Amino acid sequence: MPAFRSFRDLPVAGKRVLVRVDFNVPIKAGKVGDATRIARAAPTIAALCEAGAKVVLLSHFGRPDGKRVEAMSLRPVVAALEAALGRKVAFAEDCIGASAKAAVDGLAKGDVVLFENLRFHAGEEANDAEFARALAANGDLYVNDAFSCAHRAHASTEAVARILPAAAGANMAAELDALGRALEQPKRPVMAIVGGAKVSTKLDLLGNLVAKVDRLVVGGGMANTFLHAQGTAVGKSLCERDLAATAREILDKAKARGCAVLLPEDAAIAAELKPGVATRIVPISAVPADAMILDIGPATLARLEAAMAECKTLVWNGPVGAFETPPFDAGTTRLARKAAELTRAGALDSVAGGGDTVAALAQAGVGEALSYVSTAGGAFLEWLEGKTLPGVAALAA
């Protein structure tokens, strides 16, 4: 990961500082439903205000496809942002042009303005140079505090960083530090847990991880494809049978790299996936043709808990069972609590991310107990895949 400058190194007093944040948050009936991303951006904004900067916030919201869509306005975010900061926040009706300039010209030191949705302009997602220059015209310095948007080469994440002196915000820096510790300079042994429904969506991820970690746990529906590839019958479980050869290639690569791949040895099965359905535990070699594998069994859980206890670093993306439907949340919940226990004891550096993973950790009551939980989604996944993130590369010192 490239070295990058911190926003604390910038001479911000009296300067207009463009800050790329991610306020693409759930809004219902005009109110923010989950303010986690706002809360995570607040420390950077507050520090800039206290240092005497004139803070200009840039964010997208939804997919308006380059057109003004009032239902996708960022105006409802202002109240939640003011609550998080404990100060007033102005709102500009556009992110470029006369209204944006007037809003910035009216700022005093320590003031904050939130610009309207960047994606109301097609130039944002096109990474258009002219649009980027129009954004940059309202700033003297640039800070990116939106790792969740760093995998996209958009005008506000990549092009503006090439125009103005650029640095990483506190949230961006924390994310980069956590991810760097987890895979680039980890304490070994390293365990990765990769779950979810389909192998096809995580081929690049699996290919990168087997070259970097010591133990790879494959769970969820994607484990069934690996079991099938090894000749194990998986009944009517979710399984991408056409990817059996690919699964075997991944297993061969893991073996060559000295990475142990841990697959289920027993499972919780049922005739269908629904609450209250009759379930039973069977060895993985004894799944009936009319049953579905929906969670790991107790023997697998014990094996994974023991393996985790022997590791120093954990990277987690995806549940190991159908956690949304009890009782098939049991395996994921127990593993999450074990990771939290080891982290609290100082024995494990644990980094997790991805929408389902964050939801599963919260459901297990340990959302704040791991070393770092990323809300970045696609950017977190692309980092795990070993890809260069344009928004990060643009900050390279």
Hey, which residues are catalytic here? 37, 198, 355, 378
- DSSP letter for 76, please: T
Phi–psi pair at 36, nearest 5 degrees: -55, -45
CB within 8 A of 366, min separation 6: which ones?
Answer: 336, 337, 339, 340
Contact 292, 326 (CB under 8 A): no
Amino acid (1-letter code) at residue 368 = E
Token pair in block for residue 318: 């995806």
97: three-class secondary structure by DSSP: helix
Written as one letter, the residue type at 171 is: N
180 C-beta neighbours (distance < 10 Å), count: 14
Structure tokens that stand for 55 in this block = 């803070």
At 6, list the tokens: 């911190």
146 CB neighbour count, 10 Å cutoff: 29
Hey, what are 329's tokens?
Answer: 């949340």
CB atoms within 10 A of CB 392: 25
CB atoms within 10 A of CB 221: 23
Query: Locate tokens 């939290």: which residue?
Result: 340
